[in-house]
Amino acid sequence: AAAQDWRGWNIHVEGYPNTVAMDRFAELVEEKTDGEITLQMFHGGTLGSQPDAIEQVRLGGLAVGNFNLGPIGPIVPEANVVSLPFIFKNVEHMFRVLNGEGGQMIADGMEAKGLIPLAWYDAGARSFYNGDGPIASPEDVEGMKVRVMNNDLYSGMIAEMGGNPSPMAFAEVYQALQTGVVDGAENNWPSYESTGHYEVAPFFSVSEHLIIPECLCINADAFNGLSEEHQAAVREAAVESAELQRELWAEREAASRETVEGAGVTVNEIADKAPFQEAMQPVYETYLAENPDLRPLVELIQSTD
Amino acid sequence: MSDAQEGTAATDSGSGLDRLLDAIAALCRFITGVSLVVLTVIFGWLVFGRYVLNATPTWVEQAALLLVMVIAFLGAAVGVHEHTHLSVSLLRGLVPAWLRTVFVVATDLLLAGFGLLMLIYGGQLTLFKWGSLIPLIGLPEGLRSLPLTVGGGLIVLFSLAHLWRVVQGRDLRRDTIE
Amino acid sequence: MGLLVLLGLFGLCVLIGTPVAFALGISAIAAFWYEGLPLMIGFQRIISGINVFSLMAIPFFIFAGELMFHGGIAIRLVRFAQAAVGAVRGGLGIVNVFSSMLFGGISGSAVADISALGSILVPVMKEKGYDADYAVNVTVTSSIAGIIIPPSHNMIIYAIAVGGGVSISKLFLAGVVPGVLMCLCLAAAAYLVAVKRGYRAERFPGWTAMALSFVGALPGLLTAVIIVGGVLSGVFTVTESGAFGAIYAFLVTLLVYRAITWENFRLAVRQSVRTTSMVMILIACAAAFAYMLTFYQVPARMVGLLTGLTENPIMILLMINVILLILGMIMDMAALILICTPIFLPVAASVGVDPYQFGMILLVNLGLGLCTPPVGSCLFVGCAVGRLPMEKAVRTIWPFYFAILVALLLITFVPAISLTLPRLLGL
Ligand code: NA
Ligand code: NA
């Protein structure tokens, strides 16, 4: 087959676990296809925002991308299920689901929209942080202005706890936390650290309410057009890069946690998450009423051990 | 900001076509003006809701981005009709008149071509994204590219009409705001 | 070759007088086509260029400025400013620079700064007999203060680009002295140019006249108080404050001055929309252009071309400045911070430059790029609110570029300018 030059997208900066893993993926693809496929990675989101890059991969302008399933949700209904708060018990549970039938259902949904997930990456769990004091129960969120990403599920989650969900551009959050435009936000350990949010919101409560996986995606036509050997090679490369990513992610999470704790952040472990999970019942009910087709997938995930 | 450049209807003699184009431009100005006022008011409502009611209207941010698309692309089309876009007129001032006419014609053709591509590919983009919804306001994602599509169509219209006037020797203006 | 298509077609379009926005768009789309990329993505880039929340400051502050102009606030500000600083040559130019310094203390964005101050001060300065190009030049160049003087979301982007280990509070503190230094250099330039052009100083009108003009201008001056106070107390963000500026200006002209008529309001809306759309279409098309520059890996190629030529630390730092300046001229800021930091920071560190100081060098360089043709959002806004063709503004902007370059060289070669304040405060 003729040589192919691919381009890839990744939002993270140099040195980040995903960046290292995507670079490794590029190397492996080239190696395993004897240089017949080359991949040029563009890190730091320099070729566009995540929703834009998803569109670019779907349209074939880019061959591959490392995407969070959050922004894929509005396009692929099955992928939006992972944005339900507390749907996964923990990261290991999430990977068990993704490696099983649940993962296949999500992958099929994505392929119908021109994206094939080659492997799943870890993005940890998202927890709440704020400036006023630890959050131990849903009541502590009452009346709090919490910055959320753009998704009805996330805003519904805060609203059900009695808080005030405030969508806001990511770049504005640091200042908003500092001046009090919002009281809190939520993210994983590495982002909490690298954005400096811990400097202005030094209470981190380990709610782990959202565990949203990431995927290494490829344009469906690009992948289906490959020979069988090349398809296998590309998949292998993706799986190996994902193994590396998960390893680096674990290290990075620990390092970030150490950094922020060293800077004086108060970490509040939540012993009993049941009250939070119970508060989410209306979110699930509304969601399933609006998306009855997705009930089997939700139940499948909940019944996976 | 004097009013000297205010209301530069692009026509010097009012043919029917010119009047029609002026009316379309006026309609666009009305739509973009209303968009600006609405944009300002909903931001006031956003802050009021978050700070006073402690209930942030979550739709404002996304709605605002859509309104800006309308202002930008319809406004840009009106700008083509009224010749208000920033451009560099240095060389046009230096060359002989016939070459200047060539430049003006070439610019009109380039603009018409670009407008046509906006119309075609903006339209495709709109259809491509129509199926997915913008989170928090629940409107089709395709609405985001609709203003570019419509603006593109208008740019074709306005620049070809200008070309027509140039051919008739009625209008050579394609200058910067001054 | 594709890069040649992009740059060549752009140059050709600009020369024959195609509006700069469309010259950017046409050449970018041509390059998309040349590379066999889906053209839909080209138009996606154009849309995404303005699908940016922080750009919302542009329409708001422009609208506020127009309302103040048509509603009689601006003229009262002129009278007061004239009474207060009319006795100094170039007084309004200097006021302009220091307003940017103060506003820079609340906004992190040069575009917010120039939309806010430019929309008010440029018409005021023109009214008082300053040349339009002088007014635009001063406003455009001093708007970079917003990036350097904390807070600044560009510094947060830089901290993220470094990849951790950089404290944002310390970075913010590091920006204070360089920002002030830059403003002092610009104020000096504003004064010298004013003297050279023979702007006349007026007699001080006396304290009574000044007090009277102050009272008249008070509701207008309160706009600034409301914006600054609202942001600092957490009522709204800088972007949102622009909408409040507009609403407040409308209420003042309606209720206090009773100067707004339906006709005036319509005019203010119309002018605002016109200016906003001019600027937005430029920023939109510039985004497609920047995508292709990134696609062709122009930043990395330039570094490859120019580094390795020398080992001399001073030459290396100068080289970094030159490369950043050139890149800043053709691409916009956030992408460049993310692209250039990992390339340059290790080089700079190898000659002993601290990441905090390097952040300042990077931001001033890229900030200057916002004021230069062909791609510079601050220059776009400045020319749009000043109703001035770009080449006219650029022809006389050199003294102000020079002032920034002086500040830049000091920041590059005197680490203490950036590092002393954080050290004194124990960070
Ligand atoms: Na600032
Ligand atoms: Na520039």
- Closest approach of C74 to chain B, Cα-based (Å): 12
Candidate ranges A6-20, C114-128, C286-300; pick with highest mean pLDDT: A6-20
C237 to A180: CB separation less than 8 angstroms, yes or no: no
Identify the residue among A115, A150, A291 best suited for mutation to test binding to B, counting B beta carbons within 10 A and taking the highest.
A150
pLDDT average, residue stretch A74-97 = 95
SS3 of C37, please? coil
Enumerate the H helices of A186-294 as residue ranges.
Answer: 189-194, 197-200, 220-224, 228-262, 274-279, 281-290
- Is residue C305 over pLDDT 80? no
- The rounded Å distance from CA C327 to ligand 2 centre is 8
Of B99 and C120, the one with more pLDDT: B99
- The rounded Å distance from CA C146 to ligand 1 centre is 4
Give Dmax over CA atoms of chain C in angstroms: 70
Q: Is A55 on the interface with B (CB under 8 A)?
A: yes
Q: Is C352 on the interface with A (CB under 8 A)?
A: no
CB neighbours of A229 closer than 8 A, spacing ≥ 6? none
What pLDDT shows up at residue B7? Answer: 40
Phi, psi of C235 (to 5 degrees): -75, -45
**Residues of chain B under the 50 pLDDT cut:** 1-12, 174-178
- The closest ligand to the CA of C108 turns out to be 1
- Is residue C322 over pLDDT 90? no
- Is residue C97 over pLDDT 80? yes
In this structure, the number of other CB atoms found within 10 A of the CB of residue A2 comes to: 4
- The rounded Å distance from CA B68 to ligand 2 centre is 23
- The closest ligand to the CA of C332 turns out to be 2
- Report which of A214, A201, A190 is spatially closest to residue A106, judged by C-alpha positions: A214
pLDDT confidence bin for C107, thresholds 50/70/90: low
A15 to C163: CB separation less than 8 angstroms, yes or no: yes
In this structure, the number of other CB atoms found within 10 A of the CB of residue C380 comes to: 27
What pLDDT shows up at residue B20? Answer: 92
Residue C18 class from Cβ within 10 Å (0-12 exposed, 13-18 middle, 19+ buried)? buried
Please count the CA atoms within 13 angstroms of the CA of C391 that sit on its side-chain side.
Answer: 16
In this structure, the number of other CB atoms found within 10 A of the CB of residue C349 comes to: 12
pLDDT confidence bin for C152, thresholds 50/70/90: confident
CA distances from B16 to A17, B19, B169 (A): 64, 5, 17
pLDDT average, residue stretch C297-316 = 77
Rounded Cα distance, C212 and C409, in Å: 44
Identify the residue among B132, B139, B143 best suited for mutation to test binding to A, counting A beta carbons within 10 A and taking the highest.
B132
Please give the full DSSP string across C175-241, using - where no structure is assigned: HHHHHHHHHHHHHHHHHHHHHHHTPPP-----HHHHHHHHHHHHHHHHHHHHHHHHHHTTSS-HHHH
Rounded Cα distance, A115 and A113, in Å: 6
- Is residue A167 over pLDDT 80? yes
Nearest to A48 among C48, C156, C163 (CB): C48
C237 to A60: CB separation less than 8 angstroms, yes or no: no
- Is residue C166 over pLDDT 50? yes
Average pLDDT, chain C: 86
N-to-C CA span, chain C: 49
Residue C130's identity, in one-letter code, is Y
Average pLDDT, chain A: 94
SS3 of A161, please? coil
Query: What does pTM read for this prediction?
Result: 0.87
Please give the full DSSP string across C288-346, using - where no structure is assigned: HHHHHHHHTTHHHHHHHHHTTS---HHHHHHHHHHHHHHHHHHS-HHHHHHHHHHHHHH
**C contact residues 186-225, partner B, Cβ 8 Å cutoff:** none
pLDDT average, residue stretch A222-244 = 96
Rounded Cα distance, C43 and B80, in Å: 19
Contacts 24+ apart (CB under 8 A), A190-194: A190/A16, A190/A17, A190/A124, A190/A249, A190/A252, A190/A253, A190/A256, A190/C164, A192/A129, A192/A256, A192/A260, A193/A256, A193/A257, A193/A259, A193/A260, A193/C164, A194/A256, A194/C159, A194/C160, A194/C163, A194/C164
Rounded Cα distance, A266 and A269, in Å: 10
Candidate ranges A240-249, C92-101, C102-111, C345-354; pick with highest mean pLDDT: A240-249
Rounded Cα distance, B130 and A205, in Å: 39
- Closest approach of A4 to chain B, Cα-based (Å): 26
What pLDDT shows up at residue A47? Answer: 92
Nearest to A61 among C41, C161, C335 (CB): C41
Residue C362's identity, in one-letter code, is L
CA distances from A16 to A37, C161, C390 (A): 24, 10, 41
pLDDT confidence bin for C184, thresholds 50/70/90: very high
pLDDT average, residue stretch C110-118 = 78
Identify the residue among C41, C109, C294, C298 best suited for mutation to test binding to A, counting A beta carbons within 10 A and taking the highest.
C41
Enumerate the H helices of C18-152 as residue ranges.
Answer: 20-34, 39-50, 57-70, 73-85, 91-104, 110-113, 119-127, 132-142, 145-148
pLDDT in tens, B110-149: 999 999 999 999 999 999 999 889 988 889 999 999 999 9
Please state, for a pLDDT cut of 70, what percent of chain C lies above it.
97
- Within 8 A of B104 by CB-CB distance, chain C residues are 17
The answer to whether residues A145 and A168 touch, using CB atoms and an 8 Å cutoff, is: no
- The rounded Å distance from CA A195 to ligand 1 centre is 17
pLDDT in tens, C336-356: 887 788 788 888 888 888 999
CB neighbours of A55 closer than 8 A, spacing ≥ 6? B128, B129, C41, C44
> Minimum mean pLDDT among A199-203, A256-260, C176-180, C422-426: which range?
C422-426
Q: What is the DSSP letter of C351?
A: T
A5: left (phi over 0), alpha (psi -120 to 50) or beta: beta
Residue of A nearest to C241 (CA): A181
- Report which of A221, A180, A220, A219 is spatially closest to residue A201, judged by C-alpha positions: A180
Residue keyed to tokens 């849903």: A138
What pLDDT shows up at residue A305? Answer: 84
Rounded Cα distance, C258 and A237, in Å: 71
CA distances from A173 to A8, A185, C153, C237 (A): 28, 8, 9, 10
The size of the A-B interface in CB pairs under 8 A is 41
> Minimum mean pLDDT among A151-155, C116-120, C187-191, C412-416: which range?
C116-120
C274 to B75: CB separation less than 8 angstroms, yes or no: yes
In this structure, the number of other CB atoms found within 10 A of the CB of residue A142 comes to: 11
Phi, psi of C29 (to 5 degrees): -65, -35
Q: Is B62 on the interface with A (CB under 8 A)?
A: yes
> Minimum mean pLDDT among A24-33, A104-113, B136-145, C163-172: which range?
C163-172
pLDDT in tens, C22-74: 999 999 999 999 999 999 999 999 999 899 887 888 888 888 888 887 888 87
In this structure, the number of other CB atoms found within 10 A of the CB of residue A81 comes to: 25
Tell me the sheet residues that pair with A148.
A167
pLDDT average, residue stretch C175-181 = 93
Rounded Cα distance, B175 and A203, in Å: 58
Name the pairing type of β-strands A115-121 and A37-42.
Answer: unpaired
Q: Is B65 on the interface with C (CB under 8 A)?
A: yes
ipTM: 0.91
What pLDDT shows up at residue B108? Answer: 94
Q: Is A49 on the interface with C (CB under 8 A)?
A: yes
Name the pairing type of β-strands A214-219 and A115-121.
Answer: antiparallel
What pLDDT shows up at residue C58? Answer: 82
- Within 8 A of C162 by CB-CB distance, chain A residues are 13
The answer to whether residues A178 and C238 touch, using CB atoms and an 8 Å cutoff, is: no
In this structure, the number of other CB atoms found within 10 A of the CB of residue A251 comes to: 11
Q: Is B126 on the interface with C (CB under 8 A)?
A: no
Which secondary structure element, helix H or strand E, spans residue C108, and what is its range? none
- Report which of C8, C42, C49 is spatially closest to residue C28, judged by C-alpha positions: C42
- Within 8 A of A172 by CB-CB distance, chain C residues are 53-54, 153, 237, 239
In this structure, the number of other CB atoms found within 10 A of the CB of residue C415 comes to: 16
- Report which of C347, C255, C362 is spatially closest to residue C310, judged by C-alpha positions: C347
Q: Is C162 on the interface with B (CB under 8 A)?
A: no
Rounded Cα distance, C280 and B154, in Å: 17
Quick one: tokens of A121? 């990456």
SS3 of A208, please? strand
- Within 8 A of C53 by CB-CB distance, chain B residues are 61, 64-65
The size of the A-C interface in CB pairs under 8 A is 105
Domain boundaries, given as residue ranges, for chain B: 3-168
SS3 of A117, please? strand
What pLDDT shows up at residue B10? Answer: 44
What pLDDT shows up at residue B69? Answer: 96
Q: Is A61 on the interface with B (CB under 8 A)?
A: no
pLDDT in tens, A24-48: 999 999 999 999 999 999 998 889 9
Tell me the sheet residues that pair with A269.
A206
What pLDDT shows up at residue C256? Answer: 84
Residue of C nearest to B149 (CA): C43
Quick one: tokens of C141? 């160049």
B136 to A155: CB separation less than 8 angstroms, yes or no: yes
